Chain A
Amino acid sequence: MRWRILSILVVMAAAAPSLAQTAPVNGIRPADLRTHAIIGATVVVAPGQRIENASIVIREGVIEAVGDDLDIPPEARIWPGDGMTVYPGLIDAALLVDVEKIPDGAGAHWNQRVHPQVQMVDQPAPDASLRKDLRSLGFTAAAVYPSAGVLRGSGVVVALADEDEHVLAYRERAAMAIGFDHGGSWSSATYPGSLMGAIALVRQTLYDAQWHAACQRVWQADPLGHEPPIRADALEALGDVIRRKQPVLFDVTDEHNAQRAARIAREFDLDAMFLGSGVEFRRLEQVVATGLPIIVPLRYPDRPEVSSPLEADDVTLREMMTWEQAPTNARRLLDAGATVALTTHRLKKRSKFLSALRKAIRYGLSEDDALAALTTTPAKLLGLDRIMGTIEVGKVANLVVVEGSLFQRKPKIRDTWINGRRHEVSKDPDLKLVGKATLRTDRGVEAPVDIDTVKAKLTLHLPDGSKVKAKKVVFQHDRLSFVIDGRVFEIDGYVRLAGVLTEGAIVGAGVLPDGEQFAFTITPAAEEDDEAEPAGNENQAGASEAEEADDDQDDQDEEAEKDDEDNDEDEEDEEEEEAIEPPPEQLVHPLGAFGLTEHPQPRSILITNATIWTCGSGGVIENGWLAAVEGKISAIGSGAFELGGHYDQSIDGTGKHVTPGLIDCHSHTGVSGGINEGTQAITSEVRIGDVVNPDDINWYRELAGGLTAANQLHGSANPIGGQNSVVKLKWSGSADDFRIHDAIGGIKFALGENVKRSRDRYPNTRMGVEAIIRDAFTAAGDYQARWDRYRAMKEDDRAHTMPPARDLELDALVEILSGQRIVHCHSYRQDEILMFIRLAEEFGFTIGTFQHVLEGYKVAEAIAAHGAGASTFSDWWAYKVEVMDAIPYNGTLMHDVGVLVSFNSDSSELARRMNTEAAKAVRYGGLGEDEALKFVTINPARQLRIDHRTGSLEVGKDADFVIWSESPLSSYARCEQTWIEGAKYFDLDHDQALRQWAEAERQRLIQRILKDAHGKPKPPREPAAQPNTQPATEPDIKRNNPDPPYSCCWSQDE
C-alpha cells in the first residue's frame, strides 16, 4: 500500500469533512461514526496536568473538547471512562525497519551503504502486526527509519492505525537516518570495513553533497558554458540536511559513538538527534554535553550468568555494573539536562516495553518525565508538537485509555485512539463468573467450587477436604462445559456437564456415566450473602491471593516455555514485591574496575633526593630534585632543595629514579571498531582520531608501566592507511581529554607483505606499492593545482564556475606534500625503505618516521640523510619472511649512523614495559644507558613533534614523569607512580585500593544478580556467628561499600 498523506494543514482544519474514501465500496457503504465522547475518566492532558472525572469529545479525528464540565453532543457515541485514565497517545520517536529495495543504477551512490534518497514514505507501511504490537503498548504514532547503511534515507511519521487505509503519514519526511555500519573485518569486501571508515564515509558524502549543491547553483544560475552536473540522487537527497532544513537521526550503538556522531554534527552544523544505546550513563557528562536530544531505548542487558565462580570470571565488573545501572539511564540523562524521548526499539522483546518502563520508574524516573518522553518530547523532536503530544482542543485525537495507571505493574491498556478511531487493545469479558461458588444438582449434591470462567478453571471441594479439578473446562461467551470425576457423585466414571451463564449463575444439565441426566446450578457464594456482587461484574470477588500468585506462576511457566532463551525480564513480578535496593549513585569513569570517580587534577609537587633521568640537557642528575607547578615542570636541580615555596605534595625520592613519562610511537591501544580500513589501497580519509576509545583497560595497564603518551596508528593492511592520533593516557578522561591538541597530524603508510596480501585488489607486489603511492601523490598534486586555480579566480568568475570537489583522501595527501602532516611508514626491507625515501624526495616532503624498519640498519645512512626517524621493535624477528634479517642491533646501529631512533611496542602488553625495551639498546650495541632511555622518551617525542611539551624533564615542559623503584633500565624496576601534566594517574598504593574496591563491588553485584535471579535467600536458621574463614591479615575490604576510593586516596598522600 501507499501512504495516505495527511498534511498538517488538513489536520488543523478540524472542521473539514471526513476524508473521502477513495476505494470503491463493495456493497452498502458502512456508517462511519466520527463523533465520540469518553466520559468520566481521569484525563492526563499533558505530563503533570490531570483532570479528574473529565470527558473528551472527539469529532472527525480531532479533539473537539476536553474538560470536567462538558456538554456532550447528543450524536456522540459514549464510551464510559470509569476507572480509566486517558493519556495522550504515545509516540515512538525512532523505529528502525528493514528497507526492501535499495536504489541502484543511474544516480545511485557508488557505495552500497549510502542511499539517502531512500524515503520511507515510499516504502511499504510498517507491518500490521508491528502496528498492533505498538498499539497494545499504548503507541499511536511512530517515526520509522531505515535500519541499515551509513547514509540511510529519510524517515516517515505514521499513524499506527489498524486499517491500512488509515495508516497515514503525519510527516512525509522525518529526519535523515545515519549510522556507522561497516563490514567489520580486515578482509571485509566492501568499504567501509571499519568504524573509522564509516565515519569518514559520512563526512566525505556530506562534503560531496555540499559540492553538488554548489554545482547545481552554478548550473541553475546559467547553464550556458557548463557541463550539466552529474546525476546524483544520493547527494541531491542530502540537500536539506546540509542546509539544516532536515534533521538527522544518528543511530549510535554506544556512548562513544554518540560523541563521534556529535562531532560530525558540529562539523557540518547539522540539526541532529540520537537514537541511543541505553548505556549513555557510562559517559553521561560527555553525551549530555553534546546538547543533542536522545531517543533512548529501554534495553537492559541480560542478567549476567555468575552462578559458577569459574564461569563468572568471564563476566567483567563493567558488565555487571552496566546491568545494574542500565535502568537508571533515562533518569540520569534527564537529571543531567538532556532532552530524552523513549523508544521501544532495540528491546529484545518489544512486548516488554511497559515493564521496562516500570523498571526505569522504579529506578528513579518520574512518571511525568516518562510520559513526556513518550508524548510531548517525541512530538517536538518530530516537529509535530502542534498537533500531537497532549490532549488539547484541535489536536489529533490520539489517545491511550488505561485502566488504572500506565505506570503501574502490569498496566491494563484498554484502548488506543488514533485519529479519532478507537482500537480496542483489551477488555475484561463482560460475561464471567469468577470466585467461590456452590454447585448444586437436583440429585442433592452440593459442593463448594472455585470457578474462573476467564481462565477456564473449576475446582470442587469435597466434604473430606480433598479437591477435584474439573477437566476440559470450556467457557465460550456465556456457555460453560466441563468433565468431572464421578466420585463427586459417589459413582464410578466421568460426569459431563454443560450450562449457560444467566442472571449471575450457571444453569445447565449433566450426564452421568450411565446416561442418566440431571440439572445443576453454579451459584456464586457471594450471591447468597446480601452484599453479593452480581456475576458479570468485573470484580474478581473471592479469588484468593495465593491462587492469583499461582496463576501468575502458570503464566510465567507458559511464557518460559514459549521462549526459554529470554530469561532476563520475566521474573520482574517477584522483584516488584520488594523495594528496589538503589544502585550506587556515583559512577566511576570508565565504568568498571579501575575507573575513577574524579578526573585527576594537577597539583604542585616536589620530588627530592632522587636520581633524575632528564633525557634532556640535564643528563642524569644524581641526588636531584624536581618541582612541578600547574602541570609544568617549574625547576630541576641537584643537591639540597633550597627554593622553598609551598607544594601540595612532597615526595622523598631517596633510592628512587625519576624519568620522563614513556612514549610509545606505535600503539593500537584504545581504538574502536577496527584498526584497519583495508578495503581499499588508499584510505587517507579515515582517522583514528574519530575512534579513540578512552575506556580500553589497557590504557590503565600501560600507565602502570610508566607510559604517558602514545601514537595511535592505523594498521598496515594498505599502502596508505588512515590518519593517526597522538594521545596522552589521561585515564578516566574522554577521548577529547586524551588528545594532544597541538600535536601535528600524522598518517600511516605501509609497505611490504601486509599491503600486497589482498589478492583482489591492487597492489600485489612491492612494485605495485611504489606505483600506487606515486599515483596517489600525483593525484594529490593535480587536485591541489585545481583548487589553487579555483581560489585564484576573481570572485565574480568563481561565482560562475563549478568548484572542485573536496576530497578528504587527497586533502590528507596534500597536507603531507605541504609538510603539515607527517608520514609514519610501516616498512621492513631495505629495498622498500629506500624506495619510499626516493619517492618522498621526488615529491618534496620529509618522512616523519619509518615504523618497524627492521632492515633500517642496512640503509641507515639513507634514512639519516633524508632526516626520517626510525621507530623500531627492540628485538622482534622471524615471524614472517620480510623480518628474517631483523636484528636486535638495529636500533643502536641506526643511532650510531645518525638516525633518530625510538623503540615502540605495537602491543598493548609490551607497551607496559618500554623501559626494559630501552635496556635492550644497551645490551645489543652497547648504547649508553641515558641514550638508551631516550629511545622511549625524548626520541619518540621528537618523532611525533611533541617534544616541545613532553619527552624530557626540562623546565617549562609538561610535568609528565614516572617514579621508579630502581634504575628504569633494570629488569627488576617497578613503576611506582605515573604523572601526566602534574596530575597523578597511577600509583601502586592507589592501585591496591582500586582493586579492593573492584573486588568488593564484584561480590556485591554477584549477590545482587543471584538475588535477582532466584529471589532473596532465606536467612540462616540460627543467627549463629559466621565462621571466620578470613585470615586475620586479609586486607579489610569494605563489602557492600559502593564508594569508590579515589578521593580517599588523595588524602592518604604525604
Chain B
Amino acid sequence: MSIHHLAIGIHPLPGPAAPGCRLCALLHELPLVFVAAVAALVASTSAFAQSRQIPAPPQSRPIVVAGATIHTISGPTLADGYVVFREGRITDVGQGDHPQIENATVINAEGLHVYPGLISADTTLGLVETQAVAVTIDHTEYGRVTPEVRAAVAINPDSDLIPVARASGILTALVFPRGGLVSGRCSTIRLDGWTWEQMAIDAEAGLVIHWPRTEPTRRGRADSPSEKEQRKQIKENLEAIERLFDDAAAYIQARDADPTQSTDLRFEAMRAVLGGEKPVFVRASSPGQIESAVAWSVRRNLRIVIVGGREADRAIPLLAKHNVPVVITGVHRLPRQRHAPFDSPFTLPAKLHEAGIRFVIASGSSPAHERSLSQNAATAVAFGLPRGAALRAVTIGAAQVLGLGGSHGSIEEGKAATLIITTGDPLQITTDILVAFIDGRRIDLCNRHKTLYRKYREKYRQLGLLSE
C-alpha cells in the first residue's frame, strides 16, 4: 500500500515536472504550521520562470483531502471532513478518519476549508485580452443576428486573464458573445486546458439575446431621438425577434421534412433552443425588458435565463410565476436613478432571495477583474442576503442555471472534482485560495501577477531592501 502524504512532502503531486514556485510559498506567509504544509505543496507544482501556466494532466491516482471543513453547499458542512476523488470525480465525502486508499495522495488540509470551485456566470473571459486594443477583442460579431457563432472556439487558452481568475477560486465559467440582437451561443468552460476543446464543457450552452429597450429614454440629451422615433425603433426590434423565431421554426420544420431544403446556419444554431434542450440567455435589465422577455418565452415555450437583471426585483411576480432564473451581473454598481437608495444594487440579491426567485451572482466586471466575483457576493451578504445563499449563488445555483447542476457546484459523490482549498470563507477578500482542482487535476494557481511579484521582490532583495 502506498499512500502519498503530501503534507510531509514525500512526493510531488502528479503534474508538470516544473520546479517549485517559491513565489507561491511566499504568497502564503500564514503563521500556522498546517498552512505552511499546504504551502509547501503549492510550491511543489507551480509553474516557475515562465509567464504561462502549464495545464494539468488528467488525474492519475486517487486523491484524499483530509482534515478540512468540507463545505458541500448541497448538504451539511462537515467539520474535520474529507473528500476523495478519482479520475476526476468525487467518490466519497465524509467526516472523521478518511478512508485509506491504495496509491492515493493524501492532502492534510487540517484547519483549512474545502469549497466547490466558484462559477463565473457572465463573462467574456478568454475572448478579451486588453480592452483598449480592439484586435484583442473577440466577443462581438458583425451583424445584429448572429446565432451561428460560438464563444468556445475563440477562447484563448493562453490568456493571461484566465490564471488570474483561477487564482481567486473561479474554476468554471459561462462565456458570452456580446452585441447585436442575437449575439450567438455562449459556452461553459473549465478554466484549464491546452486547447479550447479541452476547456469547453458545453460549447453550445445556450443562445444569447440582447433584449431591446422597451421604453423610450427620456434622459434629456439634445441629440437623442424623439419619443416617437424611439417607440418605432422599439417596435421594430421586438418584431425582429418574433420574426426570427417564426422563421427559424418554419425552417426547421421544412428542413426536417425536406432534406433538399438548403441549409441556414443561423437557424440550425437555434435548433437546440427551439427544441427546449438549451436555454435562451436573455440580457435584460429594466423591468420592462424582463417582463417582455419572460412573456415572450412563455408564448413560445422556451426556457430562458435573464442575464443582467439590474432591476429584476421589480419584475418578481412574472419571474416567480414562470420560475425564471436571473443572473445578476454585478452587485457593485451605482443606482441607475438619482433618487434610488444608495444600496439598491447591493440589496437586489436579498430581494430576489426573499421572493424565492432563483438567482446567480456574476461579477459584472471586465474579465480581467473576474476575481471581484466573490466580493460582489459578499456585498450582497452585507446588505441582507444570507451567507449561504450568497455562496450558492456563485456555486450550485450558478451550476444549475448553466446546465451543470448535475456535475458542478457542490461537493457531492459523483460530481466533478472541481474544488478549492482555502484559508477560510472564499467570499472574504482576505481569504487565500491555496489549492484548486478541476476534474481532479491539480491546477497551477500561479499567474502573471505572482510571477511579476516574485520577480520584483527579487530585485529588492538584490538591493538589500527586502530581507527574504
The chain A residues found within 8 Å of chain B, CB to CB, are 305, 308, 310-311, 313-318, 592-594, 697-698, 700-701, 704, 753, 857-858, 860-861, 875-881, 884-885, 887-889, 893, 896-898, 908-910, 912-913, 916, 919-920, 922-926, 965, 969-974, 991, 995, 998, 1002
* Beta-carbon contact of A922 and B429 below 8 Å: yes
* Beta-carbon contact of A880 and B133 below 8 Å: yes
- Please give me the residue from chain A that is nearest to B168 by CB atom: A923
* Beta-carbon contact of A878 and B130 below 8 Å: yes
* Beta-carbon contact of B432 and A880 below 8 Å: no
**Separation of A290 and B258 alpha carbons in the complex (Å):** 82
- Please give me the residue from chain A that is nearest to B161 by CB atom: A878
**B342: Cβ under 8 A from any A Cβ:** yes
Across-interface contacts of B161 in A (CB, < 8 A) = 878
**B242: Cβ under 8 A from any A Cβ:** no
Knowing that A875-B369, A880-B130, A893-B460 are A-B contacts, what are 5 other residue pairs whose CB atoms are under 8 Å apart, sorted by A's residue number? A594-B339, A898-B465, A909-B332, A909-B333, A974-B383
Across-interface contacts of A318 in B (CB, < 8 A) = 338-339
Across-interface contacts of B368 in A (CB, < 8 A) = 876-879
Shortest Cβ distance from residue B165 to the other chain A in the assembled complex, whole angstroms? 11
Q: Which of B161, B287, B341: most chain A CB closer than 10 A?
A: B341
- Please give me the residue from chain A that is nearest to B311 by CB atom: A313
Across-interface contacts of A594 in B (CB, < 8 A) = 339, 342
* Beta-carbon contact of A701 and B216 below 8 Å: no
User: Among the listed A593, A875, A879, A973, which residue makes an inter-chain contact with B339, where contact means beta carbons less than 8 Å apart?
Assistant: A593
**B381: Cβ under 8 A from any A Cβ:** yes
Bitwise interface map of B from 439 to 467 toward A, beta carbon under 8 Å scored 1, else 0: 00000000011101100110110010110
**Separation of A942 and B427 alpha carbons in the complex (Å):** 32
Across-interface contacts of B450 in A (CB, < 8 A) = 887, 889
**B321: Cβ under 8 A from any A Cβ:** no
**B46: Cβ under 8 A from any A Cβ:** no
**B253: Cβ under 8 A from any A Cβ:** no
Binds A, one of B115-123, B179-187, B194-202, B371-379: B371-379
Q: Which of B132, B217, B342: most chain A CB closer than 10 A?
A: B342
Give the 5 A-B residue pairs with the shortest CB-CB distance, closest first.
A971-B378, A878-B368, A880-B132, A593-B339, A887-B449
* Beta-carbon contact of B133 and A881 below 8 Å: yes
* Beta-carbon contact of B429 and A920 below 8 Å: yes
* Beta-carbon contact of A916 and B218 below 8 Å: no
* Beta-carbon contact of B131 and A857 below 8 Å: no
- Please give me the residue from chain B that is nearest to A311 by CB atom: B215
Across-interface contacts of A880 in B (CB, < 8 A) = 130-133
Across-interface contacts of B453 in A (CB, < 8 A) = 857, 887, 889, 893, 925
Knowing A592-B339, A593-B339 touch, does A908 contact B334 (C-beta < 8 A)?
yes
**B337: Cβ under 8 A from any A Cβ:** yes
Knowing A310-B215, A861-B465, A896-B466 touch, does A697 contact B338 (C-beta < 8 A)?
yes
**Separation of A428 and B457 alpha carbons in the complex (Å):** 94
In B377-418, the 8 Å CB interface with A consists of 378-379, 381-383, 387
Knowing A310-B288, A893-B453, A896-B460 touch, does A971 contact B429 (C-beta < 8 A)?
yes
Across-interface contacts of A909 in B (CB, < 8 A) = 332-334
Shortest Cβ distance from residue B419 to the other chain A in the assembled complex, whole angstroms? 20
Across-interface contacts of A704 in B (CB, < 8 A) = 342-343
- Please give me the residue from chain B that is nearest to A999 by CB atom: B339
* Beta-carbon contact of A972 and B449 below 8 Å: no
* Beta-carbon contact of A879 and B333 below 8 Å: no
Knowing A314-B218, A971-B375 touch, does A885 contact B452 (C-beta < 8 A)?
yes
**Separation of A559 and B450 alpha carbons in the complex (Å):** 71
* Beta-carbon contact of A861 and B463 below 8 Å: yes
- Please give me the residue from chain A that is nearest to B457 by CB atom: A893
* Beta-carbon contact of B432 and A923 below 8 Å: yes
- Please give me the residue from chain B that is nearest to A916 by CB atom: B429
* Beta-carbon contact of B133 and A314 below 8 Å: no
* Beta-carbon contact of A888 and B427 below 8 Å: no
Shortest Cβ distance from residue B166 to the other chain A in the assembled complex, whole angstroms? 14
**Separation of A912 and B219 alpha carbons in the complex (Å):** 25
**Separation of A913 and B338 alpha carbons in the complex (Å):** 19
Q: Which of B29, B381, B460: most chain A CB closer than 10 A?
A: B460
* Beta-carbon contact of B343 and A972 below 8 Å: no
* Beta-carbon contact of A305 and B218 below 8 Å: yes
* Beta-carbon contact of B429 and A923 below 8 Å: yes
Across-interface contacts of B465 in A (CB, < 8 A) = 861, 896-898
Across-interface contacts of B27 in A (CB, < 8 A) = 926
Shortest Cβ distance from residue B294 to the other chain A in the assembled complex, whole angstroms? 15
**B262: Cβ under 8 A from any A Cβ:** no
**B286: Cβ under 8 A from any A Cβ:** yes
- Please give me the residue from chain A that is nearest to B452 by CB atom: A887
Across-interface contacts of A925 in B (CB, < 8 A) = 453
User: Among the listed A308, A920, A991, which residue makes an inter-chain contact with B342, where contact means beta carbons less than 8 Å apart?
Assistant: A991
**B50: Cβ under 8 A from any A Cβ:** no
In B53-76, the 8 Å CB interface with A consists of none
Shortest Cβ distance from residue A139 to the other chain B in the assembled complex, whole angstroms? 29
Q: Which of A314, A594, A880: most chain B CB closer than 10 A?
A: A314
Across-interface contacts of A991 in B (CB, < 8 A) = 341-342
- Please give me the residue from chain B that is nearest to A892 by CB atom: B453
**Separation of A998 and B432 alpha carbons in the complex (Å):** 42
Across-interface contacts of B378 in A (CB, < 8 A) = 916, 971-972
Knowing A857-B456, A971-B378, A971-B379 touch, does A316 contact B133 (C-beta < 8 A)?
no
Shortest Cβ distance from residue A885 to the other chain B in the assembled complex, whole angstroms? 6
Shortest Cβ distance from residue A878 to the other chain B in the assembled complex, whole angstroms? 3
* Beta-carbon contact of B130 and A1002 below 8 Å: no
**Separation of A880 and B133 alpha carbons in the complex (Å):** 7
**B430: Cβ under 8 A from any A Cβ:** yes
Knowing A879-B366, A896-B466, A920-B429 touch, does A700 contact B342 (C-beta < 8 A)?
yes
Across-interface contacts of B383 in A (CB, < 8 A) = 974
In B272-316, the 8 Å CB interface with A consists of 286-288
**Separation of A909 and B449 alpha carbons in the complex (Å):** 25
User: Among the listed B335, B340, B460, which residue makes an inter-chain contact with A860, where contact means beta carbons less than 8 Å apart?
Assistant: B460
Across-interface contacts of A317 in B (CB, < 8 A) = 338-339
User: Among the listed B160, B214, B217, B381, which residue makes an inter-chain contact with A972, where contact means beta carbons less than 8 Å apart?
Assistant: B381
Across-interface contacts of A972 in B (CB, < 8 A) = 378, 381-382, 387, 427-428
* Beta-carbon contact of B288 and A701 below 8 Å: no
Across-interface contacts of B460 in A (CB, < 8 A) = 860-861, 893, 896-897
**Separation of A970 and B463 alpha carbons in the complex (Å):** 35
* Beta-carbon contact of B29 and A316 below 8 Å: no
**B80: Cβ under 8 A from any A Cβ:** no
Across-interface contacts of B448 in A (CB, < 8 A) = 885, 887
Knowing A314-B219, A314-B337, A909-B334 touch, does A879 contact B130 (C-beta < 8 A)?
yes
**Separation of A877 and B129 alpha carbons in the complex (Å):** 11
Across-interface contacts of A860 in B (CB, < 8 A) = 456, 460
- Please give me the residue from chain B that is nearest to A704 by CB atom: B342
Across-interface contacts of B217 in A (CB, < 8 A) = 314
- Please give me the residue from chain A that is nearest to B433 by CB atom: A923
Shortest Cβ distance from residue A826 to the other chain B in the assembled complex, whole angstroms? 15
